[in-house]
Amino acid sequence: MFSSTDYSFMAQALRLAEKGLYSASPNPRVGCVLVRDGQVIGSGWHERAGGHHAEINALSAAGAAVQGATAYLTLEPCSHHGRTPPCAEALIKAGIAKLVIAMEDPNPLVSGRGCASLKAAGIEVQSGLMEAEARALNIGFISRMARKRPWIRMKIAASLDGKTALNNGTSQWITGEAARRDGHRLRARSCAVLTGIGTVLADDPQLTVRHVNTSRQPLRVVVDSRLDIPVDAGLLRGGGELIFTATASEGKILALREVGARVIVLPGENGGVDLAGMMQQLADFEINEVLIEAGFKLNGSLINAGLVDELIIYLAPCLIGDAARGMMKLPELANLADKRALKINDVRMVGTDIRLTCGFS
């Protein structure tokens, strides 16, 4: 149903959409290519919330030449009046003859409406071209719309024998420079980076994006059930950080507010934070992708609670030994049949380290 030129133009639109990888959230990353007589006459992408949508940028780049054109768009055009007027209307007014989209809007409240209004205006609409690629690009936005929860990645740096830290908590610099830079790319595309109080106390990390260029920093989130975080912790510099706790200790909450942090009291079981409730709240705050950079305790709790969608494991060519800490604290199994099965979706070298990308099957 789609020709090789269709694929080529949609691939261009996807590459444009990818330009919004670090900046478009909470909106989806979207690209648009306008084609007439086999020639690209305009293209655009969505840079940031409040800015023009990809279609509008492409239409203004094309100018008056749009009549009879085909629009290749990585996501169904919006049909509702949000921060900007609907793009479906703009495409109809511009006089395009055909629309090819990679995927429909994942928001169940509006899905299909943009395409329906174009069809009603007599415009030919085709859907599903390179849909898998488009879905991967907006995996967090789709998750938030469809599941009311962010897409949750867990990043772990370990030795080849699966150890992440010494027993005294020292965990920095197991992997090499290239893996660290790659980790910063993961941070840059995430809306939030989440850690636990154990990591804050042991490493005092900043969790900012430093090794890649980005126009925005992810929200920093700490799980701290007893509010043990020092007010001068490195990651509290900058303000706006979010701390989830299980205790309503007023004095400490006030002290943290004074340094610009926000504290949310969300008690769960056994004196801990309600982790599933926390992820729901993050979705309410329009967080599409969460990157977990925590220690073995919180890693284990999140996996046990079924709150991890993807594991990204960097394995460094070194051995640390059996006495050191593992990747995640999971309950002991009596039977190997109870093991958690994973699916390896990608494996590659990053510098001198191996990067594994796994999903839960």
Instruction: Catalog residues that contact Zn ion under the rule CB under 5 A.
Output: 53, 78, 87
Q: Can you read off the two tokens belonging to residue 213?
A: 């260029």
Nearer residue to Zn ion within complex by CB, 56 or 207: 56
State whether the Cα torsion 135-137-138-140 is positive or negative.
positive
Q: CB–CB of 199/293 below 8 Å? A: yes
Nearer residue to Zn ion within complex by CB, 92 or 266: 92
Residues in the chain: 361
Q: Rounded to an integer, what distance in angstroms lies between the CA atom of residue 296 and that of residue 319?
A: 18
Give me the least distance between CB of 293 and Zn ion, in Å please. Answer: 33
Give me the least distance between CB of 39 and Zn ion, in Å please. Answer: 24
Q: Can you read off the two tokens belonging to residue 63?
A: 């100018």
Q: Rounded to an integer, what distance in angstroms lies between the CA atom of residue 243 and that of residue 227?
A: 8
- DSSP-derived letter for residue 321 is -
Nearer residue to Zn ion within complex by CB, 123 or 312: 123
Strand intervals (E) in the chain: 31-36, 39-45, 70-73, 98-101, 124-127, 151-159, 192-196, 219-223, 242-245, 262-265, 289-292, 310-316, 342-350, 353-360
Nearer residue to Zn ion within complex by CB, 85 or 95: 85
State whether the Cα torsion 320-323-329-332 is positive or negative.
positive
Give me the least distance between CB of 77 and Zn ion, in Å please. Answer: 6
Give me the least distance between CB of 78 and Zn ion, in Å please. Answer: 3
Give me the least distance between CB of 74 and Zn ion, in Å please. Answer: 12
Q: Rounded to an integer, what distance in angstroms lies between the CA atom of residue 150 and that of residue 146?
A: 10
Q: Which of 18, 47, 55, 258 is catalytic?
A: 55
Q: How far apart, in Å, are the Cα atoms of 260 and each of 231, 238, 244?
A: 10, 8, 14
Give me the least distance between CB of 18 and Zn ion, in Å please. Answer: 18
Closest CA to 169 of 197, 141, 144, 138: 197
55 carries an active-site annotation: yes
Nearer residue to Zn ion within complex by CB, 71 or 200: 71
Give me the least distance between CB of 27 and Zn ion, in Å please. Answer: 9
Q: Rounded to an integer, what distance in angstroms lies between the CA atom of residue 77 and that of residue 88?
A: 5
Nearer residue to Zn ion within complex by CB, 69 or 263: 69
Question: How many Cβ atoms from other residues are within 10 Å of residue 208's Cβ?
Answer: 17
Q: Rounded to an integer, what distance in angstroms lies between the CA atom of residue 275 and that of residue 330?
A: 16
Q: Rounded to an integer, what distance in angstroms lies between the CA atom of residue 197 and that of residue 10?
A: 44
Nearer residue to Zn ion within complex by CB, 78 or 246: 78
Catalytic amino acids? 55
